[in-house]
Amino acid sequence: MSHFSYRNGVLCAENLPLTEIAQRFGTPTYVYSKAALLENYGAYANACKKHGRDDKTALICYSVKSNSNLAVLNLLAKQGSGFDIVSGGELLRVLAAGGDPRKVIFSGVGKSREEMRLALSHDILCFNVESLPELHRLNEVAAELGKQAPISLRVNPNVDAKTHPYISTGLKENKFGVAFEEALDIYRTAAGLPHIRVTGIDCHIGSQLLDDAPLLEALDKLIELIDTLSNEGIAIHHLDIGGGIGIVYDQELPVAVGDYLGRLFTRIDAWRAARHDKAPITILFEPGRSIVGNAGILLTEVQYLKHGDAKNFAIVDAAMNDLMRPAMYEAWHGVQAVRQRDGSASTYDVVGPVCESGDWLARERALNIAQGDLLAILSAGAYGMTMSSNYNTRGRAAEVIVDGAAMHLVRPRELPEQLFAQEKLLA
């Protein structure tokens, strides 16, 4: 269910009118629903339970890059979530939020020595290694620390995720992972390195996937490779299928998380039964968008209405620096007036104050609005705040979590002075 709905003509987050949030904390402000967040996480956790998995045989590693606010991470950590990180900074966030480093997996093509050291010193669950040189570097860094680094290879199964090219990652031409054909050789190398311990296999084929068929195809390829490795005496203890399940922005019909996990576990169970394999294999997931995407909106105020011959513009106080997705991917986000008005709508492009023609949040939307009205940019919980910038010396938006009728400020709006406080004049 949506946790953002109209009551008496006013859009609410759970039981709280968005007007009250704007009054108290101003705009632009990201507003997240705690209930939505927990419900979306629960869809994964419940499906795991339903298919006989416990916290030893399935682990949900929430993808921190989608929304990394400490309060969000803390709520998920309290549910038992693990975390998928892509930088040392994200590891420090997880630790600061009370996350368990032994449930952390580290993805990304460019891990630095320093990041490896940090992750090794916190005994994370696994490094998702994306290239042969990275494997050698990790072996060296682990040797310096007198440790063995647990690894998965991120294998590129070369399946078409059928999503936006910028967020499709499982094809041969992408920079991610190692080619399926090269994986066996790299695993052999890894098995021979003294400071590397092979523990798993990993893939992530893309984001905003509506259909689970490409994910199940990728699963079949990983299973094939696990069998080959097992014949060579290289044991794989966990299989990480990545994230990628999409959400509704407009008219999309994404697969339900429970249905996808059901099909995935059924295949895995059939494979294990056919091999008479009693040793359990742990299944890891790296969901981001499907947990936070629809749990958040961006609240903004109309500054000016500009009516022209060719177009009408609603100039709002949020901009591309707050929500990059439209400018970057031509992404579509729903827009709703917080207070419903009587009368007829006009067609507007919703644009921000940044000095770029690409600074738009939505195009050609029928809105019945006046100057000073509040708008909600929908489905903005994932890759919203985390991709924001300070372009035009604009402080980042505030972040608020709503729980029932209560609002919690989980990050105040940045003040302009903070943005240049570290800068120095020439002596």
The catalytic site residues sit at 355
Binding map of ligand LLP across residues 363-382, x = CB under 6 A, - = no contact: -------------------x
Are residues 336 and 291 in contact, defined by beta-carbon separation less than 8 angstroms? no
In the window 231-250, what residues touch ligand LLP (CB under 6 A)? 242-244
Q: Whole-number minimum distance, CB 396 to ligand LLP, in Å?
A: 17
Residue 51 interacting with ligand LLP (CB under 6 A): no
CA dihedral defined by 117, 101, 240, 276, rounded to 10 degrees? 110
Helix (H) or strand (E) holding 406: strand 406-411
Helix (H, G, I), strand (E, B) or coil at 110: coil
Which region among 37-45, 116-124, 183-191, 203-211 touches ligand LLP (by CB under 6 A)?
Answer: 203-211
Q: Whole-number minimum distance, CB 99 to ligand LLP, in Å?
A: 16
Q: Whole-number minimum distance, CB 125 to ligand LLP, in Å?
A: 14
Compute the distance between CA of residue 167 and CA of residue 207 in angstroms, rounded to an integer.
6
Lookup: tokens for 271: 């494979």
Compute the distance between CA of residue 131 and CA of residue 136 in angstroms, rounded to an integer.
9
Binding map of ligand LLP across residues 159-178, x = CB under 6 A, - = no contact: --------x-----------
Compute the distance between CA of residue 191 and CA of residue 87 in angstroms, rounded to an integer.
25
Compute the distance between CA of residue 67 and CA of residue 63 in angstroms, rounded to an integer.
8
Q: Whole-number minimum distance, CB 290 to ligand LLP, in Å?
A: 6
Residue from 325, 333, 365, 396 in contact with ligand LLP (CB under 6 A): 325
Q: Which is nearer to ligand LLP, 214 or 288 (CB)?
A: 288
Tell me if 286 is assigned to a ligand binding site: yes
Compute the distance between CA of residue 263 and CA of residue 96 in angstroms, rounded to an integer.
36
Residue 204 interacting with ligand LLP (CB under 6 A): yes
Closest CA to 329 of 171, 165, 86: 165
Compute the distance between CA of residue 16 and CA of residue 3 in angstroms, rounded to an integer.
10
Are residues 350 and 360 in contact, defined by beta-carbon separation less than 8 angstroms? yes
Q: Which is nearer to ligand LLP, 22 or 91 (CB)?
A: 91
Q: What are phi and psi of 397, to 5 degrees?
A: -65, 160
Compute the distance between CA of residue 197 and CA of residue 199 in angstroms, rounded to an integer.
6
Residue from 66, 68, 131, 152 in contact with ligand LLP (CB under 6 A): 66
Tell me if 329 is assigned to a ligand binding site: yes
Residue from 33, 107, 156, 321 in contact with ligand LLP (CB under 6 A): 107
Q: Whole-number minimum distance, CB 65 to ligand LLP, in Å?
A: 6
Q: Whole-number minimum distance, CB 192 to ligand LLP, in Å?
A: 26
Strands 346-351 and 312-316: parallel
Tell me if 287 is assigned to a ligand binding site: yes
Helix (H, G, I), strand (E, B) or coil at 334: coil
Residue 111 interacting with ligand LLP (CB under 6 A): no
Using CB under 6 A as the criterion, which residues of the chain lie in contact with ligand LLP when the complex forms? 63, 66, 84, 107, 167, 204, 207-208, 242-244, 286-290, 325, 382-383, 387
Annotated binding site: 244, 286-289, 325, 329, 356, 383
